[in-house]
Structure 1
């Protein structure tokens, strides 16, 4: 068995545990770390798992032109993660013998009152996407056969969907947005939701051209903010009026295709269900337009409630009132 055969076998069979601290950027709720940065830790733990088992993801690209991509990421938050936490992340491989992707379960544990407490359970799926541009990889070495079943030439293969009207106006600048567009009108018809058009900027891509998982996490967070702002209950307004902050209990994203640098991305956020006046779940769908037709490149969902955070890290859930309920449901009187 070659060294790389052994490394792949270990990635697929060995469990690893890594100690990580969250990024300070993620503390937008006192010292509480938001869901996006919790997911960043899960991604980092999976990448560290590859490195520890002898298959570092950077070397896979540099030697073979194989780009590591998370294509599915799901996390359930059972408690808070804070700036000063040193978290233990256990990465357990769960891919079957016939799987064509790497699959993992990830658990995040922290110390609370001197005892370990599991606060996040997550799952992650990854593939190796081949870069076929030889201008970038003149020294490429052929891909080892043991990696063939995990290697793809593109992320997903979405079929073209409905035809759409031509967009109007001038092209957007990098990172520019519009919330009124004929394509958005079509995507939002009959939905209790909000959408916007966004030109994919360079900071949102990796391996030169395609949006990566962390970019979709940013889109999901932005979708929540834009939705409630459009309904008259913006995050800033609720903080100023009541000291309420959105609290995420669950998130999931799946990449279905590739959104590329400088393409226009259409993101739609739709309220799917409401549980009493405590939690609501919304779906995020992302599309691009190619040859006049919609192509879906990602989907996901996120569940929110509202909480109050005191002393930086003491949180309690609050029930929302009729005003917020009307806004979330999109019935008459929203924002009143």
Structure 2
């Protein structure tokens, strides 16, 4: 078994790393712009490379020491858009506080525009080392013991629905496609209440998980992207509708996801998207809460926020932000169908 040394942990906690990284082709859905999910994937890759550079790669930690590297808090601001074929310079700076039991990092992505390097993305990331309970356990290396946890998200505060008794409905069979929405589901009806919210129940699939059973941060990012798509369609302003009618594209200047617990493969995940504020007719903020049901009670597994706006594109490479009109604002506020 490879030994985890104090020097390697010191490098992980104290040494900055830099790498070049490109967004993946999959993240370019409208013209050549890269969506927020894949920007966050670049942040994740930068953090994983930092672990490798210190001699503590995620594969080594899991295979040799039974520790899964889990991003458990990801707060990202996008200052300049990425395009296909852009190359970013990613800088990872450790920011772990004195006696904290999670690893903290500041990640900055830089991109070149017109011969100048611009700060394009800033992100604050927290990482836990999850002790593997699915296979045979091994001894946790002493230099990493303070960061090793038996479960994720134990230090965060869950919302008011956590622990509430619920009655589930059997309506997420494989034939149900993208799952279930609306007040016909009793759990969603309870979670939404009278809020300006949209709910979605969906079975967690294998490709969204890692380390054998649990939903990964990348899976939650995909879930946020999906629930926004479903919410906009439900309010009558689907992405395709505004794209065809106005050449508007969605933009996300900020996203934040925080683990509160663990969600497992093939559990039904209840995602609740609640519009909180429309700001100066240019952006709106929404909270996204995630739940599963265990032993008849709600368990909140994550929470987050997203800031969303629109841009209009003039050609295949240029766009500018636009303000919302009354038609769109009313849809966000749930005041009337935006038909």
Which bracket does the TM-score occupy, shorter chain normalised? over 0.9
The secondary structure found in structure 2 opposite 1:224 is helix
Q: Deviations over 1:260-289 (max 9, x none)?
A: 011000000000111121110001000001
Evaluate the alpha carbon distance shift between residue 69 and residue 296 of structure 1 in structure 2; reply closer, same or farther with a 3 A threshold.
same
Alignment pair present for 1:178 and 2:180: yes
Evaluate the alpha carbon distance shift between residue 21 and residue 174 of structure 1 in structure 2; reply closer, same or farther with a 3 A threshold.
farther
Give the whole-Å Cα distance in 2 for the aligned partners of 1:263 and 1:86. Answer: 38
Alignment pair present for 1:25 and 2:29: no
Give the whole-Å Cα distance in 2 for the aligned partners of 1:168 and 1:211. Answer: 22
The secondary structure found in structure 2 opposite 1:28 is strand
**Cα drift, residue 228 of structure 1:** 0.8
Q: After TM superposition, list the pairs within 5 Å mapping 1:130-209 onto structure 2.
A: 130-134=131-135, 137=136, 142-157=139-154, 161-169=163-171, 171-172=173-174, 176-179=178-181, 180-209=184-213
Q: Which consecutive unaligned segments of at least 5 residues does structure 2 have?
A: none
Give the whole-Å Cα distance in 2 for the aligned partners of 1:145 and 1:174. Answer: 48
Evaluate the alpha carbon distance shift between residue 118 and residue 198 of structure 1 in structure 2; reply closer, same or farther with a 3 A threshold.
same
Give the whole-Å Cα distance in 1 for the aligned partners of 2:269 and 2:48. Answer: 27
**Cα drift, residue 175 of structure 1:** 6.8
Which position in structure 1 is the counterpart of 2:8?
A: 7
Which position in structure 1 is the counterpart of 2:338?
A: 335
Q: Deviations over 1:176-232 (max 9, x none)?
A: 511141000000111101111000111111011000000000111111111110010
Q: 2:203·2:266 contact (CA, 8 Å) conserved in 1? A: yes
**Cα drift, residue 30 of structure 1:** 1.0
The secondary structure found in structure 1 opposite 2:169 is coil
The secondary structure found in structure 2 opposite 1:68 is strand
Runs of 4+ in structure 1 deviating by more than 4 angstroms, as ranges, are 168-176
Give the whole-Å Cα distance in 1 for the aligned partners of 2:280 and 2:17. Answer: 40
What number of residue pairs does the alignment pair up? 330
Which position in structure 1 is the counterpart of 2:57?
A: 56
The secondary structure found in structure 1 opposite 2:299 is strand
Q: 1:173·1:199 contact (CA, 8 Å) conserved in 2? A: no
Q: 2:203·2:267 contact (CA, 8 Å) conserved in 1? A: yes
Q: Deviations over 1:300-325 (max 9, x none)?
A: 00001110234433120011211101
The secondary structure found in structure 2 opposite 1:11 is helix
Give the whole-Å Cα distance in 2 for the aligned partners of 1:42 and 1:173. Answer: 35
Which position in structure 2 is the counterpart of 1:303?
A: 307
Give the whole-Å Cα distance in 2 for the aligned partners of 1:277 and 1:132. Answer: 48
Give the whole-Å Cα distance in 2 for the aligned partners of 1:235 and 1:30. Answer: 14
Q: Which consecutive unaligned segments of at least 5 residues does structure 1 have?
A: none
Alignment pair present for 1:256 and 2:260: yes
Evaluate the alpha carbon distance shift between residue 297 and residue 175 of structure 1 in structure 2; reply closer, same or farther with a 3 A threshold.
farther
Evaluate the alpha carbon distance shift between residue 113 and residue 178 of structure 1 in structure 2; reply closer, same or farther with a 3 A threshold.
same
The secondary structure found in structure 2 opposite 1:98 is coil
Which position in structure 2 is the counterpart of 1:111?
A: 112
Give the whole-Å Cα distance in 2 for the aligned partners of 1:302 and 1:324. Answer: 17
Q: 1:4·1:55 contact (CA, 8 Å) conserved in 2? A: no
Q: 2:4·2:143 contact (CA, 8 Å) conserved in 1? A: no
Evaluate the alpha carbon distance shift between residue 243 and residue 170 of structure 1 in structure 2; reply closer, same or farther with a 3 A threshold.
closer
Q: 1:174·1:199 contact (CA, 8 Å) conserved in 2? A: no
Give the whole-Å Cα distance in 2 for the aligned partners of 1:208 and 1:151. Answer: 18
TM-score, normalization by structure 1: 0.94
Evaluate the alpha carbon distance shift between residue 174 and residue 258 of structure 1 in structure 2; reply closer, same or farther with a 3 A threshold.
farther
**Cα drift, residue 173 of structure 1:** 5.8
Give the whole-Å Cα distance in 2 for the aligned partners of 1:294 and 1:218. Answer: 22
Give the whole-Å Cα distance in 2 for the aligned partners of 1:3 and 1:199. Answer: 38
- Out of 167-176 and 147-156, give the one that drifted further: 167-176
